Structure formats: structure tokens, C-alpha cells
Amino acid sequence: MGILIQGGTVYDGSGASPIEADILIEGERIVAIGPRLAIRTTSDTTIDAHGHAICPGFIDIHRHADVAMFTSPDFGQTELAQGITSIVVGNCGIAPVPSVGPALAEYYHYIEPVVGPVAAGLPFADYTAYARALEHACLPLNVGFLAAAGAIKTAVKGFAKTPFSAAEMQGAVAYIAQAREHGALGLSFGIMYQPECYSSREELAALARGAGDGILCTHIRGEGDSLVSSIEEMLDVAFNAGVPLNISHFKATGVKNWRDAIFRAIERIETARNAGQRVSADFYPYDGGSTTILSLIPPSVLEESTAALVKKLATPAGKETLRQEFRKTHTGWDNMAASIGWERVIISSVVNAECAGYCGKSMKQIACENGYEEPLDLLRDLVISEEGQVGIIVLSMAQADIDEVARLPWTSLISDALYGSSAHPHPRLHGAFPRFLREYVRERKVLTIEQAIHKMTLMGAERLGIRDRGALRIGAYADALVFDPARFIDRADYQRPTQMAVGMETVILNGNLLSQNNTNHAKAGQTIFRSS
């Protein structure tokens, strides 16, 4: 007859105060919520939740699991251990679809530190094939997707720095329309990355119009010295395109920007919101981000392929060009290494075994240990030897700034987890959601537990138009968690980043009892689409 969760403290996902109640699940939906349901109904399974929190399954609207969900036999374990029952992929303009065009191999090479190696033969030629692959996949959790503008641009014109031709723009817009037809939740930009970094506001607005009634989620052009101007750029693009905007991993980087730039950026966003523009943002609960080493290369040095960049840097002239350009100011590009110091840039992944010992160390430490005159020379050598496939962690933010962002009523929680082949990944892959409850709620009391759960559930679902998820209410999908908040903790940190979270006692997905005490029993995920 179903599942009865009995006697717990119910946080319904709305941010409202909790209530003591039972929850009855039949099939894949919640059919009743209220006191003493046990005396009015029968069920096959009863879960005693006395002394425990009951809340909706967490929704991570920014996770780079695009490839892992098809290729990794372990996919779902670390997510479910954190209580994550739904994710959204295709963020930051990065995705393995559409898999066409002469630059495909180069593009797969370029995105590997973010999504991991793309196995040959994956059916991602276009969004029709991708939707079919999702439909037939055996998913351990729910998955939604965004159309990724960087992947689309690469498919139609490669890494060229030139503007779209009329035919290329037509092709790009057609891919976005195809993604929408197959249920995409919106469109993502990654304007910091190639080839999107070459796009003008006009081109971005033309692409954004293709999102239709979906959302535009964007990794802005710069998050340090150019944070405010980058926010203004995207506010303008979204306004002219007539689409709602979500700023991905909203933050202020660079020591000199701490306790300053974030307030000016918030002011710009709230001015736009007060004028009626639909603008929101998300964030992750760490003072460090994660990206690729190529983000440290000035745009004036980058070439239209990683192979061409490697060839250029391998010459004396290329080495000198890098030195000169690194010391210049470049409009729209933040020099992360200069703004935070090489001691705050940590190597997280490499390709070649001889560099494996670098993982977990700062570039300053590695340069000193290996006799480099300066870390910039190490950067050059790593780009050459690893062909650009190096992941880095940048300890770029002030905790007080993160707290300011977390308190905003229009920011939701994400992980921004990367799935590159790394023995030393960013700890957010394994711990972002329990860390938020542990540190920001229980320990430092930045938010109440009901506020935090709202940011981890319904807020993200409503933002992306995901119907009937993120809330415990009659008729909603039965994605639910039962846990003791005092025992649900993250264990991953910058020193031990692969430690799994513990304490998530029960996970229910689409009405299926997936796990009790971290023992997985079934794969019951569904593809989730934007509601019209």
C-alpha cells in the first residue's frame, strides 16, 4: 500500500516553520500529510522518524555530471549520501552535446577537467539523441538538463574567435530550439571559457532569446575586478532577450575585492529586481572554487585550439608573450593568480603520472620545490606537458562575503561539482549539501534550518520550472529524506576531499525506498523537464 513516515519534524521546503506530522506515500506521489496517519491507513513499510527531520530530497541545479551519469558505475553514491535526489547538468555552457563538428575532439579534450573523459560512442550527436539516451538510461537520481551554449557554439563554428556568421547563428539557435523541444530547463552560458569568451553582448542576447520561457543560467565573464561590469553585461543581455536570469556561483574573487565588490554587485542585481527584472543567483558553501588551468592564461595568449596554444608556449617567443601579457590588464578577464597569489592556487588534477605528486599542493609550493624562477613558468610547463588538462582549486573568496550571499532571499545552494579524473577533487563533490547544514546552520547560525532547506529544495525547483519536486505536499513526487540533523555531516575538506558524507539515514526517490543507512537498493531516477 505504500510507505508511511511516522512521527518526524517536517520541513516542507517552502521555508515555513516545521510541523510534527506523518507522511503517506503511495506509488510515486505523496498522498497525505498530517498527524496520526497510522490509525487511519495501512502501509507496506513504516519508517519511524521520531527525533528526525523529514524534508524534500535536495536539488542540485548546478552539477557537472553530464558524462559520469552515463559512464560511472559508482554514480549516485556520493550524491545520495548527501541527500541529493535531483540534479541539473549542462551548466557553464559546458556539455558533451551536441557531439558534432570538426572541433569535437578538441572540445572533448578541453572540457575533460570539468566533466571527465567522454567515452567514444556516446549518443550525443544532437539533443534528440541525448533525450533518447536519458530516457533509456538507468538513473540513480532525477536528472534535468540545460542547453549548453559553449558546446553549441563549438559544434557550429569550433573555437574560432570570429563573430557568428548568419548561417552559424541560425544553426546555434536551431540547436537551442531542439533542446527546448526535448525538455531542456533553459540555456547556460560560460562566458569565461572558450569559445564563448569571444562573443559580444549582441550575440549573447541573440542566443539567449532562444531560451524562450526557460531560464538563462550564466557563468559570467569575470568574478573579480570585473565582477560588477560582468553582472551588468548579463543583466543587459537577459533584459534585451526577455528571459529570466540566474547568476551561477555568485561570488567576489581577489583579495582586494573582498568586502567591497560583492555589495556593489548585489546592489546592481537588487536594482534590476526592484525594476521588475527576473534575476536570481546561486552559490556554493566554500571559500574556494574549481576550474581549469587554462583560465589562468590571458585571453590575448589563447589560441583557437589547445594544441596551437601548447605549440605557441613551447617557443621562446611564446614564453615571453605569456610573461608580458600576464602583467597587463585585460578588459573582461580577471587575473586570478595575481589577485589571490600563487599560494592560493592548488593543483587538483593532472593527466601524466609524473605530475601526480603535484595534486593537493599550491603552485607556489610546487614552483619552489622544483626550482622554478617563478610560478608563471610552472604554469607554462604544465599547460605544455598536460596539454591543458589540469584542474585547479582557487582559494579566492572571503567567508564573510559568502555569508552575505547565503543570506540573500534570492540565492539558492549548489555544489558546482566537477567530475574530472582527479585524485584530489574539490571537496564540494562529496560534501556541499551536508556542509551547508552543518556549518551555516548548526555551527555558525547564518541561517535557520528551514531557510537552508528552502535554498536546497523548492527554491531551485521553482527557479528552473521543475514541477512537483522540492516540496513535501500532497500530489508532489515522493522525493524525501529522513535524517538526524546533528549526525548528518560532511567529511570532505581540502586535505581529504574524497571522504563521503555520513548520517543520511533514509532516501526515498519517486516513492522508492532507495537507501537506509547508506545501503543502496534501486535505481529509480527520472528525467525531469521544465513545466510549461
Residue 528 lies in a domain: no
Residue 235 lies in a domain: yes
352 and 205 within one domain: no
403 and 273 within one domain: yes
378 and 229 within one domain: no
Per-residue pLDDT, 46: 93
* DSSP of 87-118: EEE-GGG--S-S--STTHHHHHHHHHHHH---
Residue-wise pLDDT for 394-414, tens only, equals 999 999 999 999 999 999 999
Residue-wise pLDDT for 146-204, tens only, equals 999 999 999 999 999 999 999 999 999 999 999 999 999 999 999 999 999 999 999 99
100 and 65 within one domain: yes
102 and 211 within one domain: yes
320 and 265 within one domain: no
Residue-wise pLDDT for 20-43, tens only, equals 999 999 999 999 999 988 777 777
Confidence of residue 530 (pLDDT cuts 50, 70, 90): confident
- Share the mean pLDDT of the chain: 94
Reference 342, options 361, 369, 323; nearest CA is 361
Distance of alpha carbon 506 from alpha carbon 524, whole angstroms? 15
Distance of alpha carbon 5 from alpha carbon 11, whole angstroms? 13
Residue 523 lies in a domain: no
The last residue of a domain, from among 370, 394, 418: 394
Per-residue pLDDT, 517: 54
Residue-wise pLDDT for 197-248, tens only, equals 999 999 999 999 988 889 999 999 999 999 999 999 999 999 999 999 999 9
Confidence of residue 16 (pLDDT cuts 50, 70, 90): very high
364 and 277 within one domain: no
Reference 76, options 530, 511, 529, 507; nearest CA is 507
Name 482's bridge partners: 54, 506
Residue 301 lies in a domain: yes
Residue-wise pLDDT for 246-294, tens only, equals 999 999 999 999 999 999 999 999 999 999 999 999 999 999 998 899 9
Q: Assign residue 259 the CATH number of its domain.
A: 3.20.20.140
Residue-wise pLDDT for 82-101, tens only, equals 999 999 999 999 999 999 99
Distance of alpha carbon 312 from alpha carbon 322, whole angstroms? 10
180 and 307 within one domain: no
347 and 210 within one domain: no
Backbone angles phi, psi at 523, to 5 degrees: -115, 105
Residue 126 lies in a domain: yes
Residue-wise pLDDT for 335-372, tens only, equals 999 999 999 999 998 888 899 899 989 999 999 999 99
149 and 269 within one domain: yes
Residue 312 lies in a domain: yes
251 and 340 within one domain: no
Per-residue pLDDT, 29: 97
Grid look-up 560532511 returns: 490
93 C-beta neighbours (distance < 10 Å), count:
32
Residue 361 lies in a domain: yes
Residue ranges making up the domain that contains 266: 58-287+397-426
Residue 219 identity (one-letter amino acid): H
Grid look-up 558546446 returns: 151
Grid look-up 574539490 returns: 426
Residue 500 lies in a domain: no
Contact of 346 with 390, CB cutoff 8 Å: no
Residue 96 identity (one-letter amino acid): P
- Rounded (5°) CA angle 448-482-33: 85
Structurally, how many domains does the chain consist of?
2
420 and 318 within one domain: no
The last residue of a domain, from among 354, 376, 394: 394
- Burial of residue 435 (CB within 10 Å: 0-12, 13-18, 19+) is buried
